[in-house]
Structure 1
Amino acid sequence: MTIKRPWWWLVVLAALVLSSLCMAQEGGSGTGTGSEAQGWYEVDTLNIGLDSGIDEASLRTPRETMRHFMRLTEKGDYEGAAHLLNLADLTPAEQRTRGAELARQLAEVFRRGKWLNISTLSSRPDGMIEDVSGKDPRAGKARRDIELASLEAGNDAYDIRLGRYRVGKEEPVWLITPESVSSIPALYDRYGPSRFEDYIPEPLKQNFGLLRLWEWIAIPVVLLAIGLIGRLVHALITAMTRWLPSGSPSIFMAQIRSPVALIVMALVMQTLLDFVVSFSAVVATTLRVILTIVMAWGVGVIALRMIDTFMLHMTRRMAGEIDDSKPRDERKLLTTLYALRRVIILIMVVLVTIYVLSQVRLFETLGMSILASASVLAVLAGIAGQAVLSNIISSFQLSLAKPLRIGDLVMFEGQWCYVESIFYTYILLRVWNERRLIVPVTYFASRPFENLSAKSTMEYRTLELTLHLNADVACLREKFLEYAKAEENVIEHEKLLCSVTAQTAAAQTITCFLMTVDPLSGWAAEASIREKLMAFIRDHHPDWWPRQVVVLSEQDIARGESAGERLQ
């Protein structure tokens, strides 16, 4: 026993230590100062440097605090609005001298930099998020601070937040945090009124709806001026196009007139917003989103037009007119270039979309509601764009599998057509009579078609003549060989053939076979040889034409003789 006693005492001692630690942790987490458990910050004093007090009942919830702040600033009571700022980082003297000015500056920041939708703020004293769906991980937890806005000034980002504070045993109140108060001057320099507004009469600075009176006048004037600038840029580029020599440069300049004009208009408007005039947050945010989209779209269109001009130059230089008389390698290269164009367009659309979303901060402004409804939007987009998506997929399938190439001659639904272009959603076919047939890609891919240029453009053609039984086939064969060999588009003369392929009681069918370089040339050669053979028969052997033999009976002969006598 004396040997084991020290070991047991050590076990008992360790258990006591662990139990005391656990009790200490439980007591600390359960009691503490009470600020974390209850969801507020404990402070000794609040804005002791300010003169008048404020009704704390209007500061119990985040929504009521911001609603009260907006109400006071709209009436111009910045002294009262200063009580809604936690000025703990300022001395009492600075609170008296700077409190009202900081409140005014913050009101201007909200008015011009970030439109605040007060109805989205929590109406609970603890700021708890009530999420019935349970998708928000913050739901059901008391909060001590809430983000109102996140704004950029220069290369820095500043957050404006509400915090919940309690002095002693008083009821907690929601105020703008000291960290947010310290960032107000920097944000005011960025989003405050411009020097242009110093010359605006005071009556025009009154609110009228969501905007001020001077904004209702300035916005149409600014838009009209921007439109005139865009018109001038468009006319200038049009004049430059006329000076350039005809060809790819002039075509490229003519195609980028509208995108360049829009980009210039967007840049001028962005300059006005940054350095000249500062509109309210509703207008400024909307204009910045539109300008971002316009600039991204303009740059993307210019890049696409550059690719199209390059492809047009390559087409004219390498293949000239697109048809199946060009080498297969050149037509295959053109098909690959068109497929590459579609890939580039797809990449550009994705990049532009990502850029626009990153600039306008779509997900930050719309919040979790977008993510919650993403599945519904995806289903709706899939249903609405099913035909477009199927056409795009079929287009890539045709480009990769290459059952046809740019310039191939195809027989589609009984018509000879050249494949001119393969786009995302449709195929452009040039019919033999120079009309254009536009066919959806899915429709084309789901129908059988004959590619007359798949292996070679050569085609074996036939022409038929129906002649009397006394026609000399050997003589006609000699003439056919003579006329066929004289045709430029008839090749492989050893395959020329002329034979009797059918017979009736009154006539025989003579078929001539010939090999031509391509279907259209073969059709012309076939028509030319047929005309020459018909002219030879008409001039030298008219008796070869088929004629109808009528056999008369004796009664018919007698009846005819009697009719002739009566006529005499």
Structure 2
Amino acid sequence: MEDILITVGVTAAAAALALIFVAVTHVIIKKLAAHSRLASELAEHTHRPVQFAITLMAIQLAVRFTTADSAGAEWRRHLLHALVLLVMAATAWLIGAFLVAFEDLTLSRWRTDVPDNRRARQLHTQVVMLRRVTIAVIVVVTAGVMLMTFPDVRAIGGGLLASAGLLSVVAALAAQTLLSNFFAGLQLAFSDAVRLDDVVVIEGEWGKIEELTLSYVVVQIWDDRRLILPTSYFTSKPFQNWTRTQSAVLGTAEFDVDWSVPVQDMREELRTLLEGTQLWDGRVCVLQVTDAVGGVVRLRALVSAQDAPTLWDLRCLVREHLVAWVRDRQPSAMPRWRAEVGDSRGDLSWQWGEKRRPPRERPAAEPPDDARLFGGSDDGEERSHAFVGPEEPVHTH
């Protein structure tokens, strides 16, 4: 009984000293955290795992040195074995905490709440994937080492290794879908095909990548629904990525109007509207006649914004404003069906006779800048060069 009391007392003292040491160290690191980002991350992520690991090691040493390894001390071997397993688990937790702290330190230098965050989102995606892989590897290795401390498991280890080839084939066939998603997740993370917060159009839905794991991808739809897809979907089927190279995007607003619409006046109205709103990024403002069949003229307003959500609001604003402008300022340009009755030389304004037909104006040699998508401005010229194919070879005879 005296030996047991000594063991309990020494163990309690060792655990208390370990807790005091960890607490003092944590206070020192928190004071350094005011001047060091690394110290701040270490204080946040590693306090609990360090506390458990050092306390368990202190308890293990106290038990080992205050008890004798006698023939009847079976409880001592079981207790030390359990403490060794707990120390292994705490050490694995500590290693994982250190990795998470360094990963968060790396991510803190790359902000995603800035307009041009493509590189930051790519880095965040890769780091998140690496974090999941490393934590999974740490858990598997720790579990394997813990199992190898049991003599029975160590004895059958040779047989398991001998049949590992067959087992690996069976496991690969059974987990074919899981493995395909796993490797697809790694491919997405390092091929830069899709990143966190990328704006995508997939399965007819428009949204952004909210979560990217090794097995599935969560897409936040614009109306706050969630579309969950297997990772392998993005490597086997086509999808639209609106922010693949930059966050700025183009969008359209189309109108079917009457042939009498004053296109240039409408173009100037569009320019005035965009110059008066902060939603426009100042790059593209184009109004073009894209079709003229079926009794109506189709106009397409092409505008640009710094990101997809802003573009959505800008397109809605353009539609609302130009619809009101046609209704209030140019009511004759509203779409209609015509039925001509009587003499076309009558006095009504729509009855155009020879004597009432206005003189035909000569078309301008060049369209205005805001009537051209591929040209007319530096951005238009750059877009024109990007969509021009290779030059035809010159054949000499």
Normalising by structure 1, we get a TM-score of 0.46
On the 8 A contact 1:480/1:498 being kept in 2, the answer is: no
**Structure 1: which amino acid aligns with 2:3?**
F
Q: For 1:405 and 1:270, how far apart are their aligned partners in 2? A: 46
Q: Among residues 312, 320, 324, which one is paired with 2:104 in the alignment?
A: 312
- 1:259-408 to 2 correspondences below 5 Å: 259-260=49-50, 262-264=52-54, 266-267=56-57, 269-271=59-61, 273-276=63-66, 287-321=79-113, 325-342=115-132, 344-345=134-135, 348-349=138-139, 352=142, 355-356=145-146, 359-360=149-150, 364-366=154-156, 368-371=158-161, 374=164, 378=168, 381-382=171-172, 385-408=175-198
- Map residues 15-30 of structure 1 onto 2, 5 A cutoff: none
RMSD: 4.7
3-state SS of the aligned residue for 2:208? strand
The answer to whether the aligner puts 1:492 opposite 2:248 as a matched pair is no
Corresponding residue for residue 541 of structure 1: 330
Q: Conserved in 1, the CA contact under 8 Å of 2:305 and 2:311? A: yes
Tell me the alpha carbon deviations over residues 243-295 of structure 1, each in whole angstroms, 9 at most, x when there is no partner. 97798866654544653454356335524542456797876555555444433
Q: 1:473 and 1:360, CA in 2 relative to 1: closer, same or farther beyond 3 A?
A: same
Asked if 1 retains the 8 angstrom alpha-carbon contact of 2:252 and 2:300, the reply is: yes
Q: Deviations over 1:71-101 (max 9, x none)?
A: xxxxxxxxxxxxxxxxxxxxxxxxxxxxxxx
Aligned to 1:480: 270
Aligned to 1:512: 301
The structure having more radius of gyration, on CA atoms, is 1
Pair 1:316–1:370, CA change in 2 (3 A): closer
Residue by residue over 1:156-186, the C-alpha shift from the partner in whole angstroms, topping out at 9 and shown as x without a partner, is xxxxxxxxxxxxxxxxxxxxxxxxxxxxxxx
Give the deviation of 1:449 after TM superposition. 1.7
* Equivalent-residue separation in structure 2 for 1:249 and 1:404 (angstroms): 33
> Could you report, residue by residue, the CA deviation over 1:25-45 in whole angstroms, capped at 9, with x for unpaired residues?
xxxxxxxxxxxxxxxxxxxxx
Distance 1:333 1:404 in 2: 11
Q: Say which SS state the counterpart of residue 460 (structure 1) adopts.
A: strand
3-state SS of paired residue (2:109): helix
- Aligned: 1:466 with 2:273: no
Aligned with 1:318: secondary structure? coil
| 1:311 aligned partner, one-letter code | E
Shift of 1:530: 1.8
**One-letter amino acid of the structure 2 residue matched with residue 196 of structure 1:** D
- Residue 320 of structure 2 aligns to which amino acid in structure 1? E
Q: CA deviation at 1:479?
A: 0.9
Deviation at 1:344, TM superposition (A): 4.0
User: 2: CA distance between counterparts of 1:278 and 1:385?
Assistant: 49
Task: For residue 403 of structure 1, report the CA deviation from its aligned partner.
Answer: 1.8
| Closer/same/farther in 2, CA of residues 455 and 197 from structure 1, 3 Å limit | closer
Unaligned runs of 5+ in 1: 1-193, 200-217, 219-224, 553-568
- Offset at residue 340 of structure 1 (A): 4.4
Unaligned runs of 5+ in 2: 342-397
Structure 1, residues 327-374: CA drift from partner, whole Å, max 9, x if none?
544444434434544564466456545654665566544465545665
Which residue of structure 2 lines up, in the alignment, with residue 208 of structure 1? none
**Contact preservation (8 Å) 2:122, 2:189:** no
Measured at CA, do residues 285 and 538 of structure 1 come closer, stay the same or move farther in structure 2, by a change above 3 Å?
Answer: farther
Q: Tell me which amino acid in the other structure corresponds to 1:266.
A: L
Secondary structure in 2 aligned to 1:304? helix
Amino acid at match of 2:96: L
Please give the alpha-carbon distance, in whole angstroms, between the structure 2 residues aligned to 1:310 and 1:346: 17
**Cα pair 1:496 1:515 within 8 Å, conserved:** no
Distance 1:443 1:294 in 2: 40
CA distance in 2, matches of 1:356, 1:338: 27
The corresponding residue for 1:196 is 3
Distance in 1 of aligned mates of 2:63 and 2:169: 39
Q: Which residue of 2 aligns with 1:446?
A: 236
TM-score (structure 2 length as normaliser):
0.62
For 1:537 and 1:378, locate their aligned partners in 2 and report how far apart those are by CA, in whole Å. Answer: 70
> 1:66-215 counterparts in 2 under 5 A?
196=3
Q: Output the amino acid matched with 1:534.
A: V
Instruction: Tell me by how many angstroms 1:463 deviates.
Output: 0.5
Does structure 2 retain, via aligned residues, the 8 Å contact 1:429–1:438?
yes
> C-alpha separation between the residues in 2 aligned to 1:390 and 1:290?
38
Q: Is the 8 A contact 2:250 2:305 kept in 1?
A: yes
C-alpha displacement of 1:496: 1.5
Instruction: Tell me the residue number matched to 1:51.
Output: none
Q: Secondary structure at the match of 1:455?
A: coil
Q: Which residue of 2 aligns with 1:85?
A: none
Distance 2:335 2:277 in 1: 28
Paired-residue identity, %: 24
Matched, 1:527 2:334: no
Q: Secondary structure at the match of 1:496?
A: strand
2:376 — aligned with what?
A: none
Q: Distance in 2 between matches of 1:256 and 1:438?
A: 33
The aligned counterpart of 2:379 is none
Q: Is the CA contact 1:491–1:517 (under 8 Å) kept in the aligned structure 2?
A: no
Query: Does the C-alpha gap of structure 1 residues 437 and 273 become closer, same or farther in structure 2, counting only changes over 3 Å?
Result: farther
State the Cα distance separating 1:456 from its structure 2 match: 3.5
